[in-house]
């Protein structure tokens, strides 16, 4: 949780350092982004994901330790622990699938609109749709194929046992 809070600070400071020591034709690059803007961006897109992840961890600990120690029965764990775990896991994956391209677009916009070359500001304009089309669409195709293969293997292994 502490790491979650300092990632925007680390990111902005590292960009400032890298660009301060980068030059082209004897003109320096600078990064003028603010830490509070990076933190607001990070919190907007990654905050709900971290909350779901914390709920998932608490659910795993509660049902994995408490129920298993009380009953020492795998069937009780499967009935009581798997359903909340799977629900939260699906919420986490769904949130990530539907917001990651928006986060990447906002992050690229934040970075490139705060870079200066000499006194000239760079600019970046894109839409989430373009980011999705060029970066994430190929990834999602293989992601869903892997999910389908995993579900197929789970069904086959269940039928064989």
Query: What are the pLDDT tens digits along the chain (161 aa)?
Result: 677 788 889 989 998 999 888 888 888 888 888 999 999 998 888 888 888 778 777 776 776 655 555 555 555 555 555 666 667 777 777 777 777 778 888 888 898 888 898 888 877 777 767 777 766 677 777 777 877 888 888 788 777 76
Q: How far is CA 87 from the centre of its chain?
A: 18
- Return the pLDDT at 17: 92
Q: Give the three-class secondary structure for 126.
A: coil
Task: Provide the pLDDT for residue 80.
Answer: 54
- Give the pLDDT of residue 37: 92
The sheet that has 23-24: what strands, in order across it? 23-24, 27-31, 115-117, 120-121
Angle between helices 2-20 and 35-61 (to 10 degrees): 150
Residue 79, Cα to own-chain centre: how many angstroms? 29
Instruction: Please give the Cα distance from 108 to 101 (Å, whole number).
Output: 11
Structure tokens at 86: 């799977």
Q: In whole angstroms, what is the distance from residue 29 CA to residue 22 CA?
A: 6
The secondary structure of residue 33, as a DSSP letter, is -
């Amino acid at each position: 949780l502490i790491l979650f809070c300092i990632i925007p600070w680390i990111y902005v400071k590292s960009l400032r350092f890298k660009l301060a020591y980068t030059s082209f034709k004897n003109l320096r690059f600078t990064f003028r982004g603010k830490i509070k803007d990076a933190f607001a961006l990070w919190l907007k897109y990654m905050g709900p994901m971290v909350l779901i992840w914390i709920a998932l961890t608490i659910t795993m600990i509660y049902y994995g330790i408490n129920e298993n120690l009380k009953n020492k029965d795998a069937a009780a764990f499967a009935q009581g622990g798997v359903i909340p775990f799977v629900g939260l896991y699906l919420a986490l994956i769904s949130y990530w699938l539907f917001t990651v391209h928006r986060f990447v677009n906002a992050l690229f916009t934040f970075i490139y609109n705060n870079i200066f070359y000499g006194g000239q500001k760079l600019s970046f304009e894109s839409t989430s749709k373009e980011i999705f089309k060029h970066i994430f669409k190929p990834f999602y195709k293989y992601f869903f194929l892997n999910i389908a293969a995993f579900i197929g293997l789970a069904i086959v292994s269940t039928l064989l046992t």
